[in-house]
Amino acid sequence: MQNAAIKNMSDASTATIDALNGCVADTVVATLLSQNYHWNVKGMNFLPLHQFFQEIYEDHFEAQDDLAERIKAMGGHVEATLGEITERTAVRERPGTFNDVAMIEHMLETQQTLASTMATCATIAAEKGDTLTEDLCIARGQQHEKFAWMLRAHLRG
């Protein structure tokens, strides 16, 4: 099993590393968005949303490290400056003050964007025979789809 992992790392492509850097960028921005909403949510749903946004940003904080460490394991460079992240991300920021429903709607959009980014990276990794990166991105995509489902449930309640 170890030989397969080593083979995949030696076959690492710039396309896979580039896609992983996109995953990192989107995850970093989503982490900050969820932390922003954690701090600023108000209203009758304050406590459950405050806790849920915290669950999201804690998950994302760990995920960005996992994604970045995969880039390093493949011999790549992690693009981690604010400029690089904001230039690369597909996650849409929304500065300003919002009510709880607008926060949930935006976080739902963000989770869907992350799931799509992870799926794209998984596809690129699969094309390059990099099953470890493919697996990481599939698992992350599933987590973002789960968060999206939970957010949709808040809106339909």
Across the chain, mean pLDDT equals 92
Please give the pLDDT value at position 157. 63
pLDDT (tens digit per residue) in 55-87 = 999 999 999 999 999 999 999 999 999 999 999
Start-end of H helices in the chain: 2-10, 14-40, 46-73, 82-88, 100-127, 131-156
pLDDT per position as a tens digit, 2-42: 434 434 454 558 999 999 999 999 999 999 999 999 999 99
The kind and range of the H/E element at 153 are helix 131-156
Residue with tokens 């939970």: 150
Question: Domains in the chain, start-ordered, CATH in brackets?
Answer: 2-156 (1.20.1260.10)
